[in-house]
């Protein structure tokens, strides 16, 4: 439990590190943004397959794994669909300019989308520690932490450009990391209580991560004219996780 809790703090803390870096580079060039997000997408995709979906197959059977992957994707799709407009969290409810308020709504939807998928990401890290293969669990957790740093960086710029005060930007962005800590504890606790759900839980967490890569990260990296750079960055991220799994996951 201690290792899982420390890992939870590390996974959530990685987002905060990214936020602090984002304050240093408040206007991140699209090319750099797309490259680091592409690298993060490769890490996340490999972590989902190597650290979650394959162990799910080893623990259960193909149908449980397939059901878990689909359930994870559908869950995140529904959560995204039901996302409310939370622009009041910016402290700018009285903004008189309709156009700017609309922009703030879009920014907050982007931030909330990250927060939504951070919960199952955290659960993924926690579920990994519910399995006896600590190497795989660490691989998944490190992979999630690595992609959280650029994620934290890209949250900062749109909020600041929308006119949100810097202190509130910090708390809003950091909240997405705190959600991951909560998710890790939930995932570890659930699997510790009921090990029978482990194969499904692993696949469910993997499905959410694959969904995020395809639905959010890849489209974002391919929308500014730097598709080739982002693609190679994704491949490099995937290769990085393969190396980590070889030397850490065993």
9-18 pLDDT, tens digit per residue, is 777 788 888 8
pTM above 0.75, yes or no: no
169-182 pLDDT, tens digit per residue, is 888 878 878 887 88
State the burial class of residue 154 (Cβ atoms within 10 Å of its Cβ: 0-12, 13-18, 19+).
Answer: buried
Q: What is the pLDDT of residue 89?
A: 44
Q: What is the mean pLDDT of each run of 10 residues along the chain (250 residues)?
A: 70 81 73 82 85 85 94 82 50 47 58 66 71 68 75 72 78 81 79 73 84 83 88 93 74
Cα–Cα dist 139/223, whole Å: 30
24-49 pLDDT, tens digit per residue, is 776 667 787 788 788 888 888 888 89
Distant-in-sequence, close-in-space partners of 246: CB < 8 Å, separation ≥ 6: none
- In 3D space, the residue among 205, 126, 145, 189 whose CA is nearest the CA of residue 16 turns out to be 145
């Amino acid at each position: 439990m201690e290792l899982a809790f420390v890992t939870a703090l590390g996974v959530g803390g990685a987002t905060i590190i990214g936020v602090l870096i984002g304050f240093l580079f408040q206007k991140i060039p699209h090319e750099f943004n797309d490259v680091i997000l592409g690298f993060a997408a490769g890490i996340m995709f490999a972590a989902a397959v190597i650290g979650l979906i394959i162990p799910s197959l080893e623990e259960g059977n193909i149908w449980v794994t397939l059901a878990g992957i689909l359930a994870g994707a559908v869950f995140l799709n529904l959560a995204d669909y039901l996302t409310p407009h939370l622009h009041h969290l910016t402290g700018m409810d009285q903004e008189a300019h309709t156009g700017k308020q609309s922009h703030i709504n879009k920014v907050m939807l982007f931030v909330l989308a990250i927060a939504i998928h951070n919960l199952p990401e955290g659960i993924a890290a926690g579920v990994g520690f519910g399995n006896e293969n600590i190497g795989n669990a660490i691989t998944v957790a490190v992979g999630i932490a690595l992609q959280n740093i650029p994620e934290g960086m890209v949250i900062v710029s749109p909020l600041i450009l929308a006119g949100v005060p810097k202190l509130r930007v910090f708390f809003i962005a950091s909240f997405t990391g705190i959600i991951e800590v909560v998710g890790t504890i939930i995932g570890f606790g659930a699997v510790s209580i009921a090990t029978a759900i482990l194969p499904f839980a692993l696949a469910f967490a993997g499905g959410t991560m694959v969904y995020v890569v395809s639905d959010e990260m890849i489209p974002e990296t391919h929308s500014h004219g730097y598709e080739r750079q982002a693609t190679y960055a994704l491949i490099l991220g995937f290769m990085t996780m393969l190396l980590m799994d070889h030397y850490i996951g065993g």
